[in-house]
Amino acid sequence: MGRHREFDVEQALDAALCVFWRKGYEGASYADLTAAAGVERPALYSAFGNKEELFRKALQRYYERFLHYMPEALMLPTSREVAAHILYGAVDLNTRFDDHRGCLYINGVLAGSDEAEPVRQVLIEGRAIAEREIRERFERAKAEGDLPESARPDALAAFLMAVTHGIAVQAKAGFSRQTLEGVAEQALMSWPSADSGQGV
């Protein structure tokens, strides 16, 4: 019973996601959010809670809708294919939308006021989870002989994430897809092969 909701909650969340993606957590104001969602403030609060909860839901949606290339990558047969899929997937996603470039896990909060600290930690934690999964995948690759004994799965995972973060920063700065593909390509040149010690 009661009055029906007149707006699409999923659509409003998508709109909020775009704003956060573009301006970050603290840079996005409710004026921005309501304008993008086409919905008044109290509607956002009743549907999603406060700003922090709204961001968390937007982040979850971001993961589900745009980061599918991550679990995809982990299932590929070789560590090199895993790395390549992640790098080119990141380049593609970070340059796909002109009005919100880069990665929400980086744009969300990097440095900010004390109020944004919980959100910053959420993003750090999310990135750490991804890095751990990649490391475990590389440990498997090493056990399978896909990576040489000299390879260090933890360093490779941290390196791969670092390049991904760097690509996100550069994408947000306006770098072309083509340039970033060059970055990804360069990163892959270092990839250890099974026979040689390290490098191509």
Partner DNA sequence: GCTGTTTCATAACGACCATTATTAAACCGC
Partner DNA sequence: GCGGTTTAATAATGGTCGTTATGAAACAGC
How far apart CA 127 and CA 174 sit, in angstroms, is 23
Name which of a second copy, DNA, none residue 42 binds, using a CB cut-off of 5 to 8 Å depending on partner kind.
DNA
Q: Which is nearer to a second copy, 24 or 39 (CB)?
A: 24
What is the closest distance, in whole angstroms, from the C-beta atom of residue 63 to a second copy in the complex? Answer: 18
How far apart CA 200 and CA 198 sit, in angstroms, is 7
Q: Contact letters (x/-) for DNA, 30-69, by CB under 7 A? A: xx-------xxxxx-xx---xxx-----------------
Q: Which is nearer to DNA, 5 or 96 (CB)?
A: 5
Q: String of b and e for 155-176 (b: at least 16 CB within 10 Å)? A: ebbeebbebbbebbebbbeebe
Residue 132 near DNA by CB under 7 A = no
What is the closest distance, in whole angstroms, from the C-beta atom of residue 170 to a second copy in the complex? Answer: 6
What is the closest distance, in whole angstroms, from the C-beta atom of residue 62 to DNA in the complex? Answer: 18
Contact 26, 116 (CB under 8 A): yes
Residue 5 near DNA by CB under 7 A = yes
By CB under 7 A, name the binding residues for DNA.
Answer: 1-7, 26, 28-31, 39-43, 45-46, 50-52, 113
